[in-house]
Structure 1
């Protein structure tokens, strides 16, 4: 297509231009209703591809295929070591095709190519980490105190057929965060990627088949959330649904799951606080806090969007973070030298701009310099709103864009400072910048959030669980905890008779 970026590699270009179908039972098939929808490059707003529009009937077929694979197919007889080998093979394929996958991520999502490449490397490592757990999902012997002689133990068994619905901000990474633990545990999957970013999920499907996963183990249905996503969440043949996205949609997922009381894990929104104390190493804290909100154009659930700086250093820190953002170069992710890409869509761009306008109308001060942007694409520059307060919508609501709300604090009471952090319906992440390790520990203990980083922002490691308190979700991604959420725990007690 002429709308593809000229620096796009031939392999990625050929894939984008291919006819895109649904993966059901190990085969690429056309949607039953025959519909298709358009995919655009958010950096230009131009059409780059069309993909199959799966609907409820296609979800039915995919769930049936997953059920067969789980209960009576090759996957049901697959040993843990065999699952490990398949996952390790998939990790190698992701790595071997990393440049193509990174370029697809740029065209689909808009992020700079260098960031996309780093994400692909992390994705392969996530698969390898989860592959190692397949042979280590053990139960334990349980000593009983009731009369008689007993042998009692627990075992972990795969939960069954899993519906997974992933977001558009990190398309490939989020797919793997869901798929890898589910497959390691022995589940089968129906995956529904975001309609804005379906391309890498489809390419991943090809790599899954190439790795040798049996038919029906992974099924991929592209389509709209209101049709395919809703049908998957409500499907009576699905034993568990895992979702990453907005809190509003997560609540709808919970309602849909009530029909058969399927298990649910949710990784939802955030309005994460970052605290910078007077003793912080500002040479690290200022770029750290800036990247916490500007990375991926702020389209990160754990983005540090609420900045609290001690009044002693407030003006300097806010000015330096605003200047840091002003220096970031916006542009197409395929072009070298660009630090930030676009937002995902025109709808999201307009939404973020409304929040910026609302903050200024409510009394916030714009600390960032005005910037002239290209008329093409969905770009919003890094924006620092200074002197905000808790009554403002920009402080309370998730914006999901490169917009930082800065506020001073001058209280040394850690309980009061934690109150600032906890003054939100969310509880996903918090950042603390201080050289006083005792203060960091004491404050971290008071913050109601699933993750806290000290002198860093959002430490990403496959072994470290990630998830939220309050309306930021249920359950955890990454770590052993994520894997166990794809299992059921069974207790077995055997009466050995009299001695």
Structure 2
């Protein structure tokens, strides 16, 4: 069985305790590698290494242009290693090799983009109202960043944090999910090859209790960038508030995919299927609530059912497979339990609703559709994070907005219509961080991404996000030789 070690101060090392924990291949339902079961001592070592690197001449003493060049080299190395990294992710979380290859071939764009932005962050000279003073601003890095990532797309989620944070001049301690750590360690090793000094990028593997909590609480961590559940995000936000750490929290979703009667129904059906069955629904932006106008309800439901029936389920390393297994055993059990709860609540199964007894013993669940769902039900309000679609009828535009916004979440939403004035009205009225019109699951390094309400705080990606890893400093210079008229009064005029 393979072993992957922590990366601390440029060296691969096991947990200080000598403990290991297994990682499951969900397609075969068997352990395929081991990762360190780390604790506070490993966190302390990694944060110390990151703190030392942050103040070192090899990192703090180089120009922003040099940092940008390192990021671009890292992008080249990620591209060159895309297939190896994609296969590691498939073994770890069961995602499709086709999707992982697309992600790994796109991730370098974040490093090229922020590599280009590294030396474009400019302060300014202020036209201050006091003629005897010269005042200017500069932007400076925060310090040590704790990046805590989820198991569903570890490297993509990490790139969103690492690229802008490194471009800004910070250093990192990364805590990957204990259910999918192998690819993160292999990924992080590339940064030394790209020229980053030891200690700039560190990885500590382990549980939330053993590694996540002490990392969040560590006094030398300046910011926490987290992707995961809303419950964990709220706990992190509360802990971070104790010593005023910066936070970016990308949390859960229960996104509405809204289909109007005038939509291209075939295109909409493909978009709805992609929104919930792709990645077996294990994505924060899953369109898990289908809001369907009554006039096309039965017709459109038959199209979605036909697509669900045709989904090819199987080996995630097979390029022909369209839906793989769920990523780990606890999550598989949770999804099965959510489906059972929905049935007990009286929800009507239109398709699926059962686990699949697969030949390999893999953690498979049928694509599942519930019809005529009450938006107030647990099925419609709870993030299941599986291939489970709740279909909810609506009457008109106002009704669709009312239902869509009646959720604690607000990460994303989809709207399918040929009426462009309606599309703009819906975009304005929907309470979500992203709105897709006649498309779904489209992302870019150029576009800010994040949620409102319980879906999180802050944004990732886009030009301005580099400044979320920085803080502004204002410098005042007195050009006059005279003493202040009264030294005991604040200079406000």
With the length of structure 1 as denominator, give the TM-score of the two structures: 0.94
Q: SS at 2:300's partner residue?
A: helix
**Partners of 1:135 and 1:363 in 2: CA distance:** 58
Question: Match for 2:294 among 299, 306, 311?
Answer: 311
2:491 is aligned to: none
Residue 85 of structure 2 is aligned to residue 101 of structure 1 = yes
Q: For residue 259 of structure 1, report the CA deviation from its aligned partner.
A: 3.2
2:349 is aligned to: 366
**Partners of 1:231 and 1:483 in 2: CA distance:** 26
1:394 is aligned to: 379
Question: Match for 1:91 among 70, 75, 84?
Answer: 75
**Partners of 1:74 and 1:370 in 2: CA distance:** 56
Q: For residue 369 of structure 1, report the CA deviation from its aligned partner.
A: 4.8
- 1:334-388 deviation per Cα after TM superposition (whole angstroms, max 9, x unaligned): 1232111111112111211121122222222211157753160111121111110
Contact 2:148/2:227 (<8 A) preserved = yes
Question: Match for 1:139 among 123, 141, 147?
Answer: 123
1:6 is aligned to: none
- 1:396-450 deviation per Cα after TM superposition (whole angstroms, max 9, x unaligned): 010000101001111243xx42221110111110110001111010111111111
Question: Match for 2:141 among 158, 172, 186?
Answer: 158
**Partners of 2:302 and 2:351 in 1: CA distance:** 8
1:456 is aligned to: 439
**Partners of 1:92 and 1:74 in 2: CA distance:** 22
**Partners of 1:54 and 1:267 in 2: CA distance:** 25
Residue 227 of structure 2 is aligned to residue 209 of structure 1 = no
Q: SS at 1:460's partner residue?
A: coil
1:9 is aligned to: none
2:362 is aligned to: 377
Residue 106 of structure 2 is aligned to residue 122 of structure 1 = yes
Question: Match for 2:464 among 481, 486, 493?
Answer: 481
Bigger mean CA offset, 387-396 vs 360-369: 360-369
- 1:72-124 deviation per Cα after TM superposition (whole angstroms, max 9, x unaligned): 34111121111111111111111111111111111011012111110101111
Question: Match for 1:39 among 23, 29, 44?
Answer: 23
Q: SS at 1:74's partner residue?
A: coil
Residue 407 of structure 2 is aligned to residue 424 of structure 1 = yes
Q: How does 1:48-59 map to 2 (within 5 A)?
A: 48-59=32-43
Q: How does 1:217-296 map to 2 (within 5 A)?
A: 217-296=200-279
Q: SS at 2:393's partner residue?
A: strand
Question: Match for 2:11 among 19, 23, 27?
Answer: 27
Q: For residue 70 of structure 1, report the CA deviation from its aligned partner.
A: 0.7
Q: For residue 169 of structure 1, report the CA deviation from its aligned partner.
A: 0.4
Residue 428 of structure 2 is aligned to residue 445 of structure 1 = yes
Relative to 1, partners in 2 of residues 1:90 and 1:412: Cα closer, same or farther, differing over 3 Å? closer
**Partners of 1:495 and 1:290 in 2: CA distance:** 64
**Partners of 1:183 and 1:102 in 2: CA distance:** 23
Question: Match for 1:76 among 60, 70, 84?
Answer: 60
Q: SS at 1:242's partner residue?
A: strand
Gaps spanning 5+ residues in structure 2: where?
483-493
Gaps spanning 5+ residues in structure 1: where?
2-16
Q: For residue 20 of structure 1, report the CA deviation from its aligned partner.
A: 2.1
**Partners of 1:369 and 1:475 in 2: CA distance:** 37
**Partners of 1:124 and 1:72 in 2: CA distance:** 26
Contact 2:228/2:251 (<8 A) preserved = yes
Q: SS at 1:179's partner residue?
A: helix
Count residues in correspondence: 480
Residue 400 of structure 2 is aligned to residue 411 of structure 1 = no
Bigger mean CA offset, 451-460 vs 327-336: 327-336
Contact 1:322/1:383 (<8 A) preserved = no
**Partners of 1:49 and 1:308 in 2: CA distance:** 42
Residue 48 of structure 2 is aligned to residue 64 of structure 1 = yes
Contact 2:247/2:457 (<8 A) preserved = yes
Q: For residue 454 of structure 1, report the CA deviation from its aligned partner.
A: 0.4
Q: SS at 2:7's partner residue?
A: strand
Contact 2:148/2:174 (<8 A) preserved = yes
Q: How does 1:179-194 map to 2 (within 5 A)?
A: 179-194=162-177
Bigger mean CA offset, 380-389 vs 19-28: 19-28
Bigger mean CA offset, 214-223 vs 417-426: 417-426
Residue 146 of structure 2 is aligned to residue 173 of structure 1 = no
